[in-house]
Amino acid sequence: AQSVTQPDIHITVSEGASLELRCNYSYGATPYLFWYVQSPGQGLQLLLKYFSGDTLVQGIKGFEAEFKRSQSSFNLRKPSVHWSDAAEYFCAVGINNQGGKLIFGQGTELSVKP
Amino acid sequence: DTEVTQTPKHLVMGMTNKKSLKCEQHMGHRAMYWYKQKAKKPPELMFVYSYEKLSINESVPSRFSPECPNSSLLNLHLHALQPEDSALYLCASSHLSTSGDEQYFGPGTRLTVT
């Protein structure tokens, strides 16, 4: 069965430090992969996506992610975290043959220390 | 314009009430989705409409009734809800492209059932 695992429930980093959020997926075919961010009480905002091609993808707000097929991973990175990056981050895999259904990981809550 | 709008922002209803949630997009997307999200959890898919037809119902109780009047609008009719149905209800839309399909989310409706 398809699944997404985000091993870290909560991460705290200092402002200006680098960030890496981990995501592992289980899916038989080539996955469509996404990272979304959600601020408290808000909807989800798409940060970036991987469909095919270059395995390093750039997103909004200075985020990037690297697709590693051999490790079934799609980790999210940012070189320098800002206080406004504090939020919940969800990794998701798209099951394109099911009308666009998304399978979400459990999320990682990011806190930023001043 | 990558905006999905949802009304109302907040809704409080009794268990005997009937109410509706509304969602609208003007991006020409042909798929629309309803998700339910409890606190500190990822969104859970409820329904998918593809080309204005219900394509996925994730075994949602009949007290939730979706409707897609046209390609831009999606409603969720609520009747005889339970307190455990209190949650953030998110609407999303996507192109339904076979080459990769990202979902755009609205800000959500915070529902409280008393």
**pLDDT-based confidence at A83, cuts 50/70/90?**
very high
Give pLDDT tens digits for A40-61: 888 999 999 998 888 999 999 9
Instruction: Retrieve residue A24's tokens.
Output: 């592992």
Gap from B55 CA to chain A (nearest CA, Å)? 7
pLDDT at B2: 65
Least Cα distance to B90 among A2, A92, A68, A54 occurs for: A92
Contact A43 B105 (CB under 8 A): yes
CB contacts of B42 in chain A (<8 Å) are: 90, 104-107
Nearest Cβ partner for A106 among B4, B42, B108: B42
Q: Does A96 touch chain B (CB under 8 A)?
A: yes
Q: What angle do CA A5, B6, A31 make, to 5 degrees?
A: 30
